[in-house]
Chain A
């Protein structure tokens, strides 16, 4: 079930101006959105005129309750966004038209309109929505993981060291238009709750295959996860590698993050 609330300004927004006025944050490499945390709500503002709001607990009941509590502050934010971008729609009507986001993204315009060699909508339908409708979420996840792992293993067969592995992995993700990847140092990364060991590797992907998706409270990038797992399994020569997607658009985040853990054999 979707867990976000959506408001629509009805036109393209001037994110640069809004960022300064509202002191919103942006992600390096992603010019299509801004985000802001107004405890307990997480706001994502898209260039195409949508404002998405998620409760930090990713729960729709908490979300509705919090929207009522922060209503005056939210009104101020919406007013400022509308003013900064010359939006003609009345603030009251923007607020009144806001609703729980129910449907998968129909049209998105990002910096990368294509995913791999098929169109973005086709890719999403083939990889995510239709398999899930027909086979259920578990089988969909298994297929996507298998596909990713096969590619990842093939990639890792001829690498000579870890640096080459990670370079090739990031190049593949970027060249296949699966996202804009980078690695993070496990030493510097935040500790995730319930993390019982330090990750071997962390890969962050902006504008991934689940970019802009309606969050459903679960990670969605099994193809990329499988890629990473397959590559590390092949490189390390063992199967006891656990790749966890700790951040994902499906979870309500604005980027995807994959943590690689090597378990004892």
Chain B
């Protein structure tokens, strides 16, 4: 039986995922600084909103206005972002980052009240600050994911990698409990850096395991499936 999927709309990525992210999955998007996690997530929501799936971006650190401005500046050909926000198809919000209950209240409101189908949480690194220790974070994260899975929403959560070099990544609790993990890299190649992506895991579906180059263009991210970095 075919599984229901949430198409990312990101060029090349849905093919790597076998058609899209399985519905109601919780996917971690991790990477080092400047690897494109926020842009990736914003495009996921943008593409969804264009197809009728309302989305909410919950930022725990950066101001919503800045996120919109950066997205518009980078994806300059996506000219209707403001309109989607105005039409309440795309929400960008910043709750109290030290209050996990408030964060849960807000996400729950958007899903049940505003019927959002896609949510992005930026980032798990900041969310951890709400907790006294990693055990408490792990317990709550497992409960939180269990709660999210019962709601009609597919979620992405960004996570900063302390050591973003491939092969040296130290995985933490978020990677283990998530349904899917996508890693964004900024790899040294000679004197330049090349952006790349790999799907580390995605439960319940076949997916490409290749490390592929990606590019940030004015019309969105482009994943070059079939191409190699080296």
- State whether A142 touches B147 (Cβ < 8 A): yes
- State whether A264 touches B113 (Cβ < 8 A): no
Query: What is the chain B residue whose CB lies nearest that of A142?
Result: B147
The interface residues of chain B lying within 8 Å CB-to-CB of A229 are: 105
Most buried by B among A138, A146, A261, A264: A138
Cβ of B125 within 8 Å of any chain A Cβ, yes or no, is no
A-B contact count (CB 8 A): 57
The interface residues of chain B lying within 8 Å CB-to-CB of A242 are: 95-96, 99, 102, 105
- State whether B143 touches A138 (Cβ < 8 A): yes
- State whether B93 touches A265 (Cβ < 8 A): yes
The interface residues of chain B lying within 8 Å CB-to-CB of A138 are: 104, 140, 143-144, 147
Cβ of A104 within 8 Å of any chain B Cβ, yes or no, is no
The interface residues of chain B lying within 8 Å CB-to-CB of A136 are: 143
**Known contacts A240-B95, A263-B96; is-contact A139 B109 (Cβ 8 Å):** no
Cβ of A67 within 8 Å of any chain B Cβ, yes or no, is no
Interface of B is mostly: helix
* Contacting residue for A145 out of B99, B108, B143, CB 8 A: B108
Interface string of B143-169 (1 = CB under 8 A from A): 110110000000000000000000000
The interface residues of chain B lying within 8 Å CB-to-CB of A239 are: 91, 93, 106, 109-110, 113-114
The interface residues of chain B lying within 8 Å CB-to-CB of A264 are: 94
Cβ of A95 within 8 Å of any chain B Cβ, yes or no, is no
The interface residues of chain A lying within 8 Å CB-to-CB of B99 are: 242, 244
CA distance A138 to B107 in the complex (A): 14
- State whether B143 touches A153 (Cβ < 8 A): no
Interface string of B62-99 (1 = CB under 8 A from A): 00100000000000000000000000000101111001
Cβ of B205 within 8 Å of any chain A Cβ, yes or no, is no
- State whether A139 touches B94 (Cβ < 8 A): no
Cβ of A257 within 8 Å of any chain B Cβ, yes or no, is no
Cβ of B215 within 8 Å of any chain A Cβ, yes or no, is no
Q: Which of B184-220 contact A (CB under 8 A)?
A: none
Cβ of A253 within 8 Å of any chain B Cβ, yes or no, is no
Query: What is the chain B residue whose CB lies nearest that of A145?
Result: B105
- Nearest Cβ on chain A to B140's Cβ, whole angstroms: 6
* Contacting residue for A142 out of B91, B106, B108, B114, CB 8 A: B108
- Nearest Cβ on chain A to B6's Cβ, whole angstroms: 22
The interface residues of chain A lying within 8 Å CB-to-CB of B105 are: 145, 149, 229, 242-243
The chain B residues found within 8 Å of chain A, CB to CB, are: 64, 91, 93-96, 99, 101-102, 104-106, 108-110, 112-114, 140, 143-144, 146-147
Instruction: List 6 A-B pairs, minimum CB-CB distance, nearest first.
Output: A138-B143, A242-B102, A239-B109, A239-B106, A242-B96, A142-B147
